[in-house]
Chain A
């Protein structure tokens, strides 16, 4: 039950993009088409889950064990960069089609702050292992949800008659803001 609450909390209530406003760059950058948004979301979910596993292990068995919690940021970045590299190799070997679809988005995940946030928030909240993995996965699903909704809206906006001053980035940011307001409606659903 707790895990379910954690999952739902990560997906909708504390949606990383729309509540914490991390990972905004891919959210804006890769949300032009639903297809590419979905692949981006899946790639991020994949990396987030693995990151949650590895950083939890590093945090508990290396950083805390040696009494060096201040190395959090540095070590997590190393971990994330290596993991993304590994995931890239793995996908290139196992599924060239997926590798082509994801293209440049895959290495770009390295610089996605939402991934680092997954690692940091589990240390901050002192989550257990399974809980932090669930949270990492949920955060990824939440990211996918947000970016796909955004891409859907932007595909519609493409054919809308938008007043000239609002075209382009302006309407995109306004849309993101309204979307964030809508997600505020979920707050209070869980206490986590």
Chain B
């Protein structure tokens, strides 16, 4: 009995093994072995930062269409080198400096008072459509966290004041949050550029001052400071708004020293600055915690966002 059972199971196993071997050779799909190796060299997070929907597609583009090797923002220089080794080419040109997402709004719940209670869909665009309850500033962050949900790397969170801040170390500049923000408040900038006018309000000074205590009121103090420093191109005025020129970047933190609303500031919305400003992250856990200081629901959302991005 035991022997029959053993032999029988062995026979079934062997039968299917042979069947699979046969099927494998019959249905073998010819793929370029480079493809697998290039894909292996990529981080495999499928963030879309390179412009392709997944790492596999980017690998395909590299192997078959001679796509540039340095597009992966997540892996950076190391990945470029690894991919170049697989492809057997020398890396030409410099790796771009690491970019991080920068949030151009400081209008938290204190600075820009929230006029009503919004109980609708937790989505920034939806909040903006129901105009009466979004924040008074027509240009500012509405704080519904669409950018937080879009981040596959757990790098962007809402402060207690309802303003997103970015963990520069976790941020890979994949650009998901840039696309997620309906008011275009998030931009990607090299990590060393840290002085900006953190405001997008094009309201005239008096109006801007009324709706938000941290808005740019177009007083031009920073523009004049830059001009005095013989660096007039560094900060320019544009539609009632002082704008730090991103390219070539020449702004210095000193230009904002006399900014009456501290709209011109340095390193705001990065995780370290958030600590200095005394924002406690939701849940009140220490922000420096490596596992990411977010409360349970937010983690859940972040995980859900990750799942969605991998599924989609």
> Which residues from chain A sit less than 8 Å from chain B, CB to CB?
32-33, 36, 58, 62, 66, 68, 70-71, 74-75, 78-79, 82, 85-86, 89-90, 92-93, 96, 159, 161, 164, 167-168
| Whole-angstrom distance between the Cβ of A157 and the nearest chain B Cβ | 12
Are B9 and A92 closer than 8 Å at their CB atoms? no
| Whole-angstrom distance between the Cβ of A116 and the nearest chain B Cβ | 16
Q: Which of B12-20, B71-79, B228-236 contacts A (4 or more CB under 8 A)?
A: B12-20
> Which of A68, A71, A161, A168 has a CB less than 8 Å from the CB of B119?
A161
With A32-B311, A93-B29 already in contact, the answer to whether A86 and B9 are too (CB < 8 A) is no
| Tally of chain B residues near chain A (CB < 8 A) | 27
User: Quick one: closest A residue to B17, CB to CB?
Assistant: A82
Contacts of A82 in B (CB 8 A): 16-17, 19-20
Are B12 and A79 closer than 8 Å at their CB atoms? yes
Are A159 and B121 closer than 8 Å at their CB atoms? yes
With A71-B5, A78-B16 already in contact, the answer to whether A89 and B120 are too (CB < 8 A) is no
Q: B19-44, CB under 8 A of A: which get 1 and which 0?
A: 11001100111000000000000000
| Closest A-B pairs by Cβ, 9 of them | A82-B16, A93-B27, A89-B27, A159-B121, A168-B300, A86-B23, A68-B5, A89-B23, A75-B12
With A66-B4, A75-B9, A79-B12 already in contact, the answer to whether A167 and B20 are too (CB < 8 A) is no
User: Told that A33-B311, A36-B311, A71-B9 touch, could you supply 18 new A-B pairs with CB distance under 8 A?
Assistant: A33-B312, A70-B5, A71-B8, A74-B9, A75-B8, A78-B9, A82-B20, A86-B19, A89-B23, A89-B27, A92-B29, A93-B29, A159-B123, A164-B297, A167-B300, A168-B297, A168-B300, A168-B304
User: Quick one: closest A residue to B304, CB to CB?
Assistant: A168
| Whole-angstrom distance between the Cβ of A60 and the nearest chain B Cβ | 14
Contacts of B297 in A (CB 8 A): 164, 167-168
A68 CA / B12 CA spacing, docked (Å):
13
A62 CA / B29 CA spacing, docked (Å):
33
> Which of A62, A159, A164 has a CB less than 8 Å from the CB of B12?
A62
If over half of B's interface residues share one DSSP class (helix, strand or loop), that class is named, otherwise mixed; here it is: helix
Q: 21 interchain pairs (CB within 8 A)?
A: A33-B311, A33-B312, A36-B311, A58-B12, A62-B8, A62-B12, A68-B5, A70-B5, A71-B5, A71-B9, A74-B9, A82-B17, A86-B19, A89-B23, A90-B27, A92-B29, A93-B29, A96-B29, A161-B120, A161-B121, A167-B297
